[in-house]
């Protein structure tokens, strides 16, 4: 099998929540050796997920090991923790920082998405690390970037999207901001962009021999999903309004009720040809010649009437039946699926979208493959389950950082290296 694109690249991953871990996962998917920085001083819920108990996991249908630890069980962590190693150290102590410095000297990339003051307080900022390793690439993904008046503010996806106008634009016209969804684009978008930026920096280093610092604001990044609203205001001083499921210029577009409980289909027509196909399929070919719907602007003005005509047809049909009928006529349409239907979807299965992964504590489950796993020369797979806390301590301390057996034992005995979260700081420092 051909080497993976990033084989030979070592990445330090000190990321939290979703955006940073997803960026690290993409690099790991591509073959990089990604080493996740963990701690046994506490259960870091932003890094390893909420403190779910074995009993809670079983109650929800899971089948964890009887000896499973909560910080190895989180669903999100088990997804974005794929293809990574785990090493523990206490960065609040000089000895732990020295381990990190040694690791940075032997690494190519350092990715983190903590609040900007975190790396400064821990003395692992780029100005310090680059003196030890000028070839190091460091990518920081704080919510608002590392400069500017908001740079030290803390935020999650909900906050980042709100401050750049995203939250208001994804509402329905008859609702207010209290009805915003809890699914955030900023994290996934930030993770993907970080991986892209890191690979660009690696290519630059290949030409120049020098590393660099990447300052990626997740809030600014997610603004690029609003390019039409941004440019509309820039060019016309027009403030975009909430559209719900509609499109600012394309009609008809919407989600329509189908037969059955909570059953829907999404339809979007972007051309006269697609609209004619829609009219033929719903048994109303005369609508294509109706002056109210003769062109895209007219259809946009009369979308309420169109919605009624479409739903009169969809309401009596199964969403899969309507989907195939519309697609056969060249109409962009898709059923609105719940997660059980997504797992059963024949297209995703035919595309080998899922891979079964066995985790020694969480159990065996189907996982999403990398979004870029269909590479003809270097197909990508989940090569390793999400790492247990500290699972790779000996490898990192001894083989990567060069510590002796005796030195490694000292780190174990003094609360740096381990696979179990310590009960208290006193125990950590013995």
Quickly state the pLDDT bin for 244 (edges 50, 70, 90): confident
Tell me the C-alpha distance between 216 and 295, whole Å: 42
- CATH topology agreement for domains 10-216+353-429 and 253-257+263-337: no
361-378: pLDDT as tens digits: 989 999 999 999 999 999
Q: What is the DSSP string of 134-200?
A: TT-EEEE--TT-SSSTTTT----HHHHHHHTTHHHHTS-TT--GGG--S--HHHHHHHHHHHHHHHH
377-397: pLDDT as tens digits: 999 999 999 999 999 999 999
- Whether residue 339 is predicted with pLDDT greater than 60 in this model: the reply is yes
- Whether residue 321 is predicted with pLDDT greater than 90 in this model: the reply is yes
Number of neighbours of residue 241 by Cβ within 10 angstroms: 11
- Whether residue 284 is predicted with pLDDT greater than 60 in this model: the reply is yes
The reported pLDDT for the residue numbered 168 is 87
Sign of CA dihedral 371, 375, 379, 383: negative
SS3 223: helix
Architecture, CATH, for domain 10-216+353-429: 3-Layer(aba) Sandwich (3.40)
CB-count burial class (<10 Å; 0-12, 13-18, 19+) for 309: middle
The reported pLDDT for the residue numbered 6 is 98
The residue ranges of every structural domain in the chain are 10-216+353-429, 253-257+263-337
- Whether residue 57 is predicted with pLDDT greater than 80 in this model: the reply is no
Tell me the C-alpha distance between 30 and 32, whole Å: 6
What is the pLDDT of the chain when averaged over all its residues? 92
Average pLDDT over residues 60-77: 76
Architecture, CATH, for domain 253-257+263-337: 2-Layer Sandwich (3.30)
Contact 279, 288 (CB under 8 A): yes
- 3-state class percentages of the chain: helix first, strand second, coil last, to nearest 5: 45, 10, 45
The reported pLDDT for the residue numbered 429 is 44
The reported pLDDT for the residue numbered 243 is 85
Quickly state the pLDDT bin for 62 (edges 50, 70, 90): low
- Whether residue 341 is predicted with pLDDT greater than 70 in this model: the reply is yes
Quickly state the pLDDT bin for 262 (edges 50, 70, 90): very high
């Amino acid at each position: 099998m051909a080497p993976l694109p990033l084989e030979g690249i070592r990445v330090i991953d000190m990321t939290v929540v979703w955006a940073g871990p997803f960026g690290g996962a993409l690099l790991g998917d591509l073959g990089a050796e990604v080493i996740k920085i963990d701690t046994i001083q506490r259960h870091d819920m932003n890094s390893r997920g909420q403190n779910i108990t074995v009993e809670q996991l079983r109650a929800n249908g899971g089948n964890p090991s009887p000896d499973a630890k909560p910080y190895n069980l989180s669903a999100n962590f088990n997804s974005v923790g794929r293809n990574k190693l785990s090493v523990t150290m206490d960065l609040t102590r000089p000895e732990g920082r020295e381990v990190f410095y040694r690791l940075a000297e032997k690494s190519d990339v350092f990715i983190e998405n903590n609040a900007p003051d975190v790396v400064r307080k821990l003395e692992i900022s780029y100005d310090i690390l680059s003196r030890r390793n000028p070839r190091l690439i460091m990518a920081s993904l704080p919510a608002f970037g590392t400069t500017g008046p908001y740079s030290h503010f803390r935020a999650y996806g909900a906050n980042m999207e709100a401050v750049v106008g995203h939250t208001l634009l994804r509402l329905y016209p008859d609702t207010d901001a209290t009805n915003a969804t809890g699914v955030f684009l900023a994290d996934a978008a930030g993770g993907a962009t970080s991986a892209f930026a890191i690979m660009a920096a690696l290519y630059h280093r290949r030409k120049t021999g020098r590393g660099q610092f990447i300052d990626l604001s997740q809030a600014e990044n997610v603004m690029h999903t609003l390019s039409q609203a941004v440019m509309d205001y820039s060019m016309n001083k027009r403030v975009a309004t909430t559209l719900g499921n509609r499109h600012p210029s394309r009609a008809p577009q919407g989600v329509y009720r189908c037969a059955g409980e909570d059953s829907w289909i999404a339809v979007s027509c972007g051309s006269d040809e697609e609209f004619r196909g829609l009219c033929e399929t719903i048994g109303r070919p005369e609508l294509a010649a109706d002056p109210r719907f003769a062109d895209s602007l007219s259809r946009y003005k009369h979308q309420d009437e169109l919605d009624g005509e479409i739903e009169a047809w969809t309401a009596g049909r199964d969403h899969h039946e309507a989907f195939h009928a519309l697609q056969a006529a060249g109409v962009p349409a898709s059923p609105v699926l719940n997660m059980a239907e997504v797992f059963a979807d024949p297209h995703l299965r035919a595309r080998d979208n899922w891979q079964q992964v066995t985790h020694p504590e969480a159990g065996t489950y189907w996982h999403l493959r990398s979004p870029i796993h269909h590479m003809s020369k270097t197909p990508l797979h989940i090569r390793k389950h999400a790492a247990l806390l500290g699972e790779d301590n000996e490898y990192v301390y001894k083989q990567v950082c060069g510590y002796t057996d005796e030195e490694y034992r000292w780190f174990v005995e003094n609360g740096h290296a381990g696979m179990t979260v310590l009960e208290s700081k006193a125990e950590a420092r013995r």
